[in-house]
Structure 1
Amino acid sequence: MLEMLTLAALIAGTWAGPIEPSPSAMAELEKATTAFDEPNCPAVLESVNRLKATPDYKQNDWVRRVLLEFSALCLSQSSQESDKAQAYAEAMLASDMQGSGDGVWGVRLDREVRTKDWPAAVTSFERVAAERPLYLNRVPLAWLNYIDLQLRRADQTALRRRYLALFADSSYWPEEPGGSTEGFRYRYALLLADAGEQEKADAIARLLTNPSLLMSLSLDPRFRPVLGDDLNLRAVTERYLTQLRTQVGRFPNAIRPVIDVAEHQRMLGRPQDALATLRTIEPAIKGDAPLSDRDDNVIWWWDQMSRAHRAAGDVPAAVAALRTASAIKEGNAVNVSHTINLANLQLNTGDPAGAVETLLPLAGAGDGTASPYGVMQIVGVRGCASHRLGRQAVADADLAYARAHIDDAPGTLTQLQLCRGDLDGAAASMIARLENKDQRHGALEELSTFNAPPNTLPRDPVVAELGKLRARPDVQAAARATSTFRSRASNTAL
């Protein structure tokens, strides 16, 4: 995550101390500067070590700060643990000095997160938010979300609350295409509600505009008084779409804002509009245009093209788009996410044999190629496809795996049971999820109904089985005991 400073930022400011830097110190700093710009960190560190032995280092704060920053930034790139520890120590000193740059804060935060020193990391983030909010806005969202996930997994609730409060605040706004505070605000509202501070939680909930997050929050009875019993998701989505279009103008050379607009057009039942939106940047996607987030989002542009084609009823085009996405490697490895997405699309559109074949490169995904959640998605698609193909031994093995690893992806077991027509088993797993505080939201969303895409494609058999599950009195009673699920009949869903 480290952000290297530009050289001008590193040596900015004026010297301060009893005496001005000596000519020899300034000459050595110029050598270090040239080496840093190449970049040539070994040469930088040689200059730093020479200068640390001079009176200038001891007597002049500006010289000391610049040398500490050079040292921290270069040592942090080393593969040696001792160098990384020294880089952190240098960054700690430099970050407390007047005029220090953002780069040493990057070294400091990176080390604290990598070593899982959560109290130090959260305290550092609080200082960054107070002292250099513009830098906080530039920190990648993926990294910030990763930290929140780690805090949750470490059961650091008090620290997580302090952390989320920083990003739920109106002073924070990520400078990233498609970036938003909404995910942080949603999670912060839930933490406040869990702590019994519903009034504060409601105040955060009122700031949300994302329809998916609002829908999820509306399933929680604690938020019904502030969100209402008849949340009009279509109206919410139309307003949010207007908001998303401003992001396209703000980041004209980015992919993510275009994807977000297309996604919500599709959610509103307008797949042709979604396709038209995506095609506005198709020449840039297929060419060599310098799109600012190409590396992160070109795959997701193809994914969204597939979703829009499917919603419009064109399965061959949907499959072709996902084949293109899945062929784009992640590093030097198989693209796990989109290979699974392609197999799932094939399964849901009547080609279980194709789904099984697509998943073959992921046969060893349990060795760490995929996350535990990803392995469960493979098991879910392969297990259902194998059942439909009559390969019962494989189907049974995948069902057993899903049952044994249910916490990795609770919905997978329910989906496999529905695929096999085991309504009693599906009801039991669904009720267990409804009774589990951490799994309840996902279960309620699965039980909610939404308008079908405007095409004439045959629906996957699991859709009909889910309808039967939804109608069971035992499932409805379990849902009512915790909240309720949404229905098209209430005119509150898309």
Structure 2
Amino acid sequence: MKIGGAFGVAAAFLAWAACAPAMAAPGAPLDEALRTIRQTYDRGDYSAALSMARHTLDDRSNPPSGDALMELNNVIVDCEYRAKDMAKMYRDAMRATASEPSSIYVWRMRLGSEYNSKHYDAALTTITLMAQSHRAALNATPIRLFDALHALMKNAGDRDTDFRMLKILNDAYQPIAPFAEVEDLRLAYARQLYDANDKAAAVNLINGIQTFSGLVEVSTDPDLRALQDPKVNLQLAAERQLVEDQITLSQHPDILEGVTRVAGDLRRLGRYQDALAVLEKVRPRIGTPNGFSDRDYQQGSWWEGLATTYVALGDYDHAIESYRAGIGSGEFGQRNVSQVLDSALEQMRFGHYEDALVTLAAAPDKPGERSPYGEMVFHYAHGCAAWLAGHKQDAAKDIAYVTVHERDGPGNAVALSLCVGDLDAAAAHFIRDLNDPDERAGALEHLADFLPNAANVPEPPADKVLTQLKARADVKAAIEKAGGIPSFPFRRDDL
């Protein structure tokens, strides 16, 4: 069965056997009770399954233990999550993790609930316990949850809790997911060590960074870049990343994420036809429910990768066709919001502003369908397309929105300023971020120098004036004070 994790993403699978549907009588053999619960769960009667699981757990005449106890706790926690009874779900996840044995799933749900409720101290306690005595649960936790926790703690100004969490993860976390990369977390820890004047420890962490994305992140932070081995070669790192990902994919051919990773590595190296071939090779398996073990999570990324590759080739029609197919394929029963937005952005890039507005008009807009960040992307895309299509009054509403909600997605606010030609506002934004240690790296990456696109691939509207912006005396001074912008031997889209 698929389980929607409490941290807002589909998180795990539990496999249940099936048997005759009938409520087990008190005192009946435990295995009979479990078979009945499994069957009831499998047919989707979660309320009844929850009631039976509670009854069986509380039956003192035949108390469950071992795997039976874990299974009952899994059912209880999952059914409460499905019923959206988050208070009971968290209470029972806490109870389940306090008993032995406890499953990976209940630990995830406990931590996910603490993430959703922004209880950072409680989350740190959970991570500490997992690191001490439930390392399998820690290593099975998706890295995106820890990345999200770090971002929340950072934005909340809770540097102490964040620092302690990052230290634990640096010391103990070894994700089992084949393509998981911990470098972002390690670099965040290195940054905090540097700020605490423990430069020796920071250097050790930085010198251990090998992935391409990690090396790029170091290169955008002037302080950490000064500690980096000057012999680091990003071109060689990109080639090495491709080889490593190809090897991992050969070892895990059932993981679609590996296909999209290898295609991305090839695009970075300018090998667009090879990237297209890698993606197209698995197309027949995309439409097969059991084609990939992570199909439900990654098929959107496959369509995104296909569309992005067509954009790199300058093939607008096939790019938009791929986005539309990705939108239609859905995401856990709902339209893929990110692909709607990305499709509109590429329509804008190729000058189809009215088409972009039509695409955005069909974007999911019910409460909860777009995250705060997604709202910022929507208003950037809509405002930019409206402005370029000549609908200045409509664009003004989007400009007002991104100005008020800038913290939800600062990059989108400045991108809209660039799109509408408000270089004064864009300059003020970048100068502010270049003087802010927490935002400096992102600003320098945005302003970095990249290889030009092919002649048949237009620059996005917001990028067309970057050269003009960087030539301003006030922006040049801020860049120099911040340590200078990096230069990458890749296209911006492929980084």
Category of TM-score, reference length = shorter chain: 0.7 to 0.9
Q: What TM-score do you get using the length of structure 2 for normalisation? A: 0.84
1 CA distance for matches of 2:245 and 2:143?
17
| SS of aligned partner of 2:342 | helix
Secondary structure of 1:213's counterpart equals helix
Counterpart CA distance in 2 for 1:3 and 1:122 is 22
8 A contact 1:173–1:180 mirrored in 2: no
Report the counterpart of residue 357 of structure 1 in structure 2: 358
User: Structure 1 residue 408 and structure 2 residue 417: aligned?
Assistant: no
Query: 2: CA distance between counterparts of 1:47 and 1:284?
Result: 41
In the alignment, the residues of structure 2 paired with residue 4 and residue 192 of structure 1 have an alpha-carbon distance, to the nearest angstrom, of: 37
Aligned counterparts, 1:353-432, within 5 A: 353-362=354-363, 364=365, 367-432=367-432
Counterpart Cα distance in 1 of 2:388 and 2:103: 60
Unaligned segments of structure 2, at least 5 residues: 6-10, 18-24, 42-48
- TM-aligned CA distance change 1:363 to 1:130, over 3 Å: closer
**What does 1:92-111 align with in structure 2 at a 5 Å threshold?**
92-95=97-100, 99-102=101-104, 104-106=106-108, 108-111=110-113
Return the offset for 1:94: 1.0
Residue in 2 that maps onto 1:14 = none
Alignment deviations for residues 33-64 of structure 1 (CA, whole Å, 9 cap, x no partner): 3334434443333233331xx5x76xxxxx56
* Letter of the 2:446 counterpart: E
% identical aligned pairs: 29
Residue 87 of structure 1 is matched in structure 2 by 92
8 A contact 1:189–1:204 mirrored in 2: yes
Q: Is residue 87–residue 107 contact of structure 1 (8 Å, CA) maintained in 2?
A: no
Q: Matched residues in 2 for 1:4 and 1:255: separation?
A: 17
1:240-251, aligned counterparts within 5 Å?
240-251=241-252
Range with bigger deviation, 245-254 or 337-346: 245-254
Deviates most, 356-365 or 266-275: 356-365
**2:45 matches 1:45:** no
Q: Does the CA contact (< 8 Å) of 1:138 and 1:174 recur in 2?
A: yes
**d(CA) in 1 for partners of 2:475, 2:358:** 35
Matched residues in 2 for 1:489 and 1:257: separation?
24
More moved, 454-463 vs 405-414:
454-463
Q: Which residue of 2 aligns with 1:13?
A: none
Amino acid at match of 1:320: E
d(CA) in 2 for partners of 1:288 and 1:111?
29
Q: Where does residue 325 of structure 2 map in the other structure?
A: 324
The SS at the match of 1:450 is strand
TM-superposed deviation, 1:205? 1.6
TM-score, length-scaled by structure 1: 0.84
What is the CA–CA distance in structure 2 between the aligned matches of 1:7 and 1:331, rounded to whole Å? 21
Query: Of 126, 129, 134, which aligns to 2:128?
Result: 126
- Look up the SS of the partner of 2:484 in the other structure: coil
Shift in CA distance, 447/106, structure 1 to aligned 2, threshold 3 Å:
closer
CA distance in 2, matches of 1:298, 1:7: 25
1:255-404 equivalent positions in 2, closer than 5 A: 255-362=256-363, 364=365, 367-404=367-404
User: Deviation digits for residues 364-421 of structure 1, max 9, x if unmatched?
Assistant: 46x4431221111111112121112111101222222222222222222322222223
Which residue identity does 2:424 align to in structure 1?
D
- In structure 2, the residue matched to 1:208 is 209
- Structure 2 counterpart of 1:186: 187
The amino acid of 1:135's aligned partner reads: A
Q: Which amino acid aligns with 1:299?
A: G
- Alpha-carbon deviation of 1:7? 8.8
**One-letter code of the match for 1:118?**
Y
Deviation at 1:129, TM superposition (A): 2.2
Contact 1:48 1:70 in 2 (8 A): no
Aligned to 1:159: 161
1:421 is paired with a residue whose SS is coil
**d(CA) in 2 for partners of 1:65, 1:228:** 51
1:252 CA displacement = 0.6
Residue 298 (structure 1) shift: 0.6
Decide whether the 8 Å contact of 1:71 with 1:87 is kept in 2: no
Could you say if the C-alpha distance between residues 254 and 92 of structure 1 is closer, same or farther in structure 2, counting changes exceeding 3 Å?
A: closer
CA deviation map 1:10-38 (0-9, x unaligned): xxxxxxxxxxxxxx999543333333443
Report if aligned partners of 2:262, 2:275 keep a CA contact under 8 Å in 1: yes
Equivalents in 2 of 1:463, 1:234: separation in Å?
Answer: 23
**2: CA distance between counterparts of 1:452 and 1:349?**
16
For structure 1, the residue ranges without an aligned partner over 5 or more in a row are 9-23, 58-62
1:172 aligns with 2:177: no
Contact 1:434–1:482, Cα closer than 8 Å, also in 2: yes
Question: In the alignment, residue 397 of structure 1 is paired with which amino acid?
Answer: K
CA deviation profile, 1:242-266 (whole Å, cap 9, x unmatched): 2211220221111111111111211
Aligned to 2:46: none
CA distance in 1, matches of 2:126, 2:292: 32
Q: 8 Å contact 1:253–1:290 — kept in the other structure?
A: yes
- For 1:480, the equivalent position in structure 2 comes to 480
Which entry has the higher C-alpha Rg, 1 or 2?
Answer: 1
Judge conservation of contact 1:91–1:108 (CA < 8 Å) in 2.
no
Offset from partner CA, 1:224-243 (integer Å, 9 cap, x none): 23225675321221112122
Looking at structure 2, the residues matched to 480 and 175 of structure 1 have their Cα atoms a distance apart, in angstroms, of 42
Classify 1:411/1:104 alpha carbon distance in 2 versus 1 (closer, same or farther; 3 Å): closer
Aligned length: 465
Deviates more, 1:214-223 or 1:310-319: 214-223
Deviates further, 320-329 or 128-137: 128-137
Q: Is residue 232 from structure 1 mapped to residue 240 from structure 2 by the alignment?
A: no
RMSD: 3.2
- Classify 1:235/1:473 alpha carbon distance in 2 versus 1 (closer, same or farther; 3 Å): farther
Give yes or no for contact 2:451–2:490 (8 Å, CA) kept in 1: no
CA positional deviation for 1:348: 0.6
User: What code does the residue aligned with 2:96 have?
Assistant: A
1:152-198 deviation line (CA, Å, top 9, x unaligned): 344332222222233333x5332224222222222222222233322
Q: Which has the higher mean CA deviation after the structures are superposed, 344-353 or 245-254?
A: 245-254
Which of 84-93 and 406-415 deviates more?
A: 84-93
The separation in 2 between residues aligned to 1:401 and 1:101, in whole angstroms, is 44
